[in-house]
Structure 1
Amino acid sequence: MTGHVPQDVLDGWSARMGTGVGGLPIDVLIVAGQSNATKRSSLPVIVSDVDQRVLQWNAAAASIGVVPATDVQWIGNEFAREYVKNVSGRRLLIVPCAMGSTGFTTTSINPPPPGYTYTGNAAQGTWDRTLTSDPTNHYANMIAWTKVALAAAGSGARLIGALWSQGESDRGPMSQTQYAAKLDDLIGQARIDLGVADLPFIIGSMVPETIANNSVSTTAINLALLDTPRRVTRTSYVWGPAGMPEYGNGLIHWSPQGQAVRAREMARDGLYRARLNVAAANPVPPQALTISRSGSAVHISWAAPPCRVTAYNIELSTDSGATWTAVALADGPIATYCDTTVSATLPVWVRGSTTNPVGTSDKTLPEKA
């Protein structure tokens, strides 16, 4: 027999054989956390075609299916659609493990143990892997579902990363240090339990408006999330877009459009930076360093470089670079912004470098404002 077999015929054969499109091997992605990691809402119209390379695990049915067009707008599916554009010859299977209103301090146990909060829903449970008495332990489910999904994905399947979007439920009950310890433990133990010692974890921010408009406890959790790449190798932090909260819902959730934007950033930039966050990486200077000012107020920002960073070193000059003064980073050593003040009558120059276990990078060229 000669000639070309139509793609829809190939797809039908593949589906009946249980191997998906053309028998392409499958990459697997974990999506974990609370409501900003779930399918909260979708646009009222279909905005994207179905992509036969984007699959989703159904834990209840223990099955793999192609994601329908109506389910596109959330971080798992948008990440997957971006990922398969850039990885030839692979499909991506999403393993959804998130549950709204959950965290390290929530529980389905009623009355709750000391230090935990009963959510009012016996199905919600906890992300604290050490609370094994909770019948809905999301960490345990994540490990079990991922293992089964990997087996169902067949030969050639590989686990390529995990998205973590959580923190809102632990504001107040946990300090920055406490939350960081629990998150680091979850990442480390998941790598052990899943047998992937360098599994990338991409940490998503809370909605910027939530961070800006809420309490000190919100800031504490955000700083713990932001600082994860310094504490743990093979992780990255991705700021979500400002100005895209869910309509009429108190600025706590992203809109479908916001989910799409942050997911693409996680796929394009977050996964890349997580993979390059290794101890042996030569340091690279801060990227896109910029300075702006309003009178005496000076704002400096930059982008994370593709390497491990344990500290940013930002310096300021008011005498054309003859002398330089270190600028304090109030939000932690790997915050990608800082604010300071200088006399409104003086010009300002700024430069930066990074530090990691290998050493300190070259400095950026000075920027002036």
Structure 2
Amino acid sequence: MKLINLKNLKVLVGLLLGASTAIAQTAPEQMDLYLLIGQSNMAGRGTTDAASQPGSRKIWAINRQNEWKIAADPLHQDKPTVVGVGPGLTFAQEILKKHPERPIGLIPCAVGGSGIDDWLPGAKHEQTGIYAYDEMLARVKEAQKRGTIKGIIWHQGESDSSPQKKDAYAEKLADFFKRLRRDTHTENVPLVVGTLGNFYLAKNPDAAFINAVITDYAKKNKLVSLASAAGLTHKGDDTHFDTASARELGKRYAEALQRQAP
């Protein structure tokens, strides 16, 4: 019997392992897609833990390299040194409970620190260098090869909570969603907008105005509902939800969307 030398054996094992990994990371051909957009509290800044990597083959996420991976926190790549647990993964887990037969594909596109003006076509977010809107559209187009967008969740407004910016926020928010729906062909897709945390309002009174705009938008527009952040807590910085609160917010997003979706 001819023996395989050690070097060739290592090569063979490596090839087999690589092949099994590739198979393990092949997303389903058809998924229910959900777009996650906004700024840092959508991207997530909570501390990761054992629950951050559930390993469910029913929940996938597409990254900035347009690769589908089994979903785990952090979902976003906007600020790699600080990104952590956000509402997106728990949101998906809650949606899956209602439709366990339908795999989920998440499209994480939030950018920490982004104001509403950073979500204009061609706009570059200076903190990260990300062209938020343009990159989002490209990622959505790629994701739609494997499914249909069934919902959009949005959490943003902290960066516009100032005397100089707040008065224009309502018009800019409405224009943004009109453009988003047109460009992503989601005119009939449920949208959930989230309010800013009470702790942020205590820190910045102008945030109350932004919350009023967000709430009013949800009330006055079809296929739009509200996820309240009331009662949630921050991670010690008066700005970002802690891990437990980010997950609770994800549940609230799912509940709000399910009130609209069949």
Question: Could you tell me which amino acid in structure 1 is paired with residue 43 of structure 2?
Answer: T
- 1:50 paired with 2:51, answer no
Which structure carries more relative contact order (alpha carbon 8 Å, separation 6+)? 2
> 1:81 Cα shift?
1.0
Match runs of 1:64-213 below 5 Å: 64-68=68-72, 73-105=85-117, 126-129=118-121, 131=123, 136-151=130-145, 153=146, 157-172=147-162, 173-176=164-167, 178-213=168-203
Are positions 1:30 and 2:35 aligned together?
A: yes
Q: Equivalent residue for 1:220?
A: 209
Residue 233 of structure 1: aligned partner: 222
Q: How far, CA to CA, are the matches of 2:21 and 2:144 in structure 1?
A: 18
Q: Is the 8 A contact 1:128 1:182 kept in 2?
A: no
The residue identity in structure 2 corresponding to 1:273 is: R
Contact 1:31–1:164 (CA under 8 A) maintained in structure 2? yes
Displacement, 1:190? 1.4
Normalised TM-score (structure 1): 0.57
Preserved contact between residue 241 and residue 258 of structure 1 (Cα < 8 Å) = no
Preserved CA contact (<8 Å) 2:232 2:241: no
Where does the alignment leave 5 or more consecutive residues of structure 2 unmatched?
A: 1-18, 76-83
Q: Answer whether contact 1:236 1:271 (CA < 8 A) is retained.
A: yes
Aligned equivalents of 1:16 and 1:46: distance in 2? Answer: 24
Question: Where do 5+ consecutive residues of structure 1 fail to align?
Answer: 1-11, 106-125, 277-369
Q: Is the 8 A contact 1:26 1:158 kept in 2?
A: yes
CA deviation map 1:114-148 (0-9, x unaligned): xxxxxxxxxxxx11337589974312221221111
Alignment of structure 1 residues 301-316 onto 2, 5 Å: none
Pairwise CA RMSD: 2.8
SS of the residue 1:227 aligns to = helix
Kindly provide the CA deviation profile for residues 202-246 of structure 1, in whole angstroms up to 9, marking residues without a partner as x. 10111112124422x211111111111233211111111414211
Q: What is the deviation of 1:45?
A: 4.0
In terms of fraction of residues, the more helix-rich structure is: 2
TM-score normalised by structure 2 residue count: 0.78
Q: Distance in 2 between matches of 1:18 and 1:245?
A: 34
State the structure with more CA Rg: 1
SS in 1 for 2:121: coil
- Sort the Cα spacing of 1:19 and 1:49 in 2 relative to 1 into closer, same or farther, 3 A: closer
Distance in structure 2 (CA, Å) of the matches to 1:73 and 1:165: 14
Matched to 1:68, the amino acid is A
Distance in structure 2 (CA, Å) of the matches to 1:24 and 1:141:
23
Aligned AA (1:271): L
Aligned counterpart, 2:243:
256
Q: List per-residue Cα deviations over 1:127-170 (Å, max 9, x = no partner).
A: 1337589974312221221111111x2xxx11011111100001
